[in-house]
Structure 1
Amino acid sequence: MIDIDDQDEVRVVTFDRPGRRNAITPAGLEALEAAVRDPPASVVYLRGAGDAFCAGADLETVAGVADGGDVEAFVRRGQRTANAIENSPSVVIAGIDGAARGGGVELALACDMRIATPQATFAEPGVTFGLFGAWGGTVRLPETVGLGDALDFSLSGRVIDSRNARRIGLVSRVVEDPRTVVEQVAENDPTALEKIKTCLRSRTDEKQREDIEVAAFETLVETHAERLKEFADSS
């Protein structure tokens, strides 16, 4: 259910289960984690096949967990995959066209950028049947949209469109084709992309973040010394 297509500086990873709106199974989570852990490209483009991005966890899996399954293992599996996306050395961009629900929203939240089409919709419907997003969603959602909008989105279970998702900061852009943004990012220097992501993603305190910035900038200057000199000479 996870399709991988390596294209130059972009690895395209597709939720490929359109008949089930790309609902993801534990095996799919494992395959997704492997796809982003050490990709051969500076940018990973995460997308869905058909008319949905990802409907979240497969309902048969959820039902099995509810019927005496290992709840902790189910939650930890999703968390590990979301963390692998966040910690990937590559920039991971979610291109959301159609429905993103539950775990699909959580996996998108773990991405570095979320780009929606006008047809994209978002919801955390778990609250309507007594659950909530536990794949890191309660951590990443308020970090992304702020506490007020996170509470509104999660407690209401309502569906929001791409315009409102952009308004609250759940997505950074609304475009007809997210691939155009992917290609724009992929044109940039891969070392700089990795260092910028490391600095911005750091969850350490301010002093440690500053130290990380210093080390990363030193590395980039050393790596691109000749290019910088050429640029300075031509300006």
Structure 2
Amino acid sequence: MIRTQDCDRVRVVTLDRPDRRNALTPDGLDALETAVADASQPVVYLRGEGPAFCAGADLDVVAGLDREEAEAFAERGQRVADAIEAAESAVVAGIDGPARGGGVELALAADLRVATPEATFAEPGVKLGLFGAWGGTVRLPRVVGEGEALDLALSGRTVDAETARRMGLVSRVTDDPRAVTDELADNDPETLRVVKERMRDDSPPEMQERRETEVFGELVERHADAIADQRDS
């Protein structure tokens, strides 16, 4: 259900259940968490096999859950999304084809969401009397703003890649999302980690600025020779 391929500076993590549009079961979520958390490469590329990125939770599983089991399944999905967000690697979600429900929510946890022109996005849970419980009500308004988030979540409507880009749901639309991953992987691994850490810091602003200053000094000291070479080139 989850495949990994390590390519020098990139770990490719593939949701590999194309007959079910890469819908995730509890075991699939656990495997996805491990694949991302255990990566030693500076960049992780998350993709779906076949014509869809991810349909979210496997509804055959959801239909058989009682209340406690449903809560546990939601917590599992939240844990995986948290692991994607907290990964030391920079995580790029390459979205080709439909992303639905939990698929959108896992992509929201990535650092960059890069879509092909064929990508589409929806939070259709409301049509089933549900909603996005893998952190969707937390990350979606944070990424696109409350108004756009409410529009998507309350209507369940589907938006195309260009609409998703305009609302900030995706960073770029390109025929080759993997090329963006390789672009990131060409950069200094430690700096990728630091930039991600700084951007995600939710401490008070004065503490963020102090730490920003300290880390900048550390990086200048560490890369003094490279900086000098660039200056002289």
1:42–1:186: 8 Å Cα contact kept in structure 2? yes
Separation (CA, whole Å) in 1 of partners of 2:29 and 2:80: 6
> Which blocks of at least 5 consecutive residues in structure 1 are unaligned?
none
Q: Is 1:85 paired with 2:84? A: yes
TM-score by length of 1: 0.96
Residue identity (%): 60
Determine helix, strand or coil for the equivalent of 2:53: strand
**Aligned-CA RMSD value:** 1.1
1:38–1:89: 8 Å Cα contact kept in structure 2? no
Q: What corresponds to 1:113 in structure 2? A: 112
Q: Is 1:13 paired with 2:5? A: no
161-170 or 207-216: bigger deviation: 207-216
Q: Give the drift of 1:26.
A: 0.9
Q: How does 1:110-189 map to 2 (within 5 A)?
A: 110-189=109-188
Separation (CA, whole Å) in 2 of partners of 1:69 and 1:52: 30
105-114 or 213-222: bigger deviation: 213-222
Q: What corresponds to 1:37 in structure 2? A: 37
Q: What corresponds to 2:73 in structure 1? A: 74
Q: How does 1:186-225 map to 2 (within 5 A)?
A: 186-225=185-224
> Which blocks of at least 5 consecutive residues in structure 2 are unaligned?
none
Q: Is 1:28 paired with 2:48? A: no
Q: Give the drift of 1:87.
A: 0.4
Q: Give the drift of 1:73.
A: 1.1
33-42 or 204-213: bigger deviation: 204-213
Determine helix, strand or coil for the equivalent of 2:64: helix
Q: What corresponds to 2:50 in structure 1? A: 50
1:54–1:100: 8 Å Cα contact kept in structure 2? yes
Q: Give the drift of 1:221.
A: 1.5
Determine helix, strand or coil for the equivalent of 2:12: strand
Separation (CA, whole Å) in 2 of partners of 1:160 and 1:8: 35
Determine helix, strand or coil for the equivalent of 1:70: helix
50-59 or 27-36: bigger deviation: 27-36
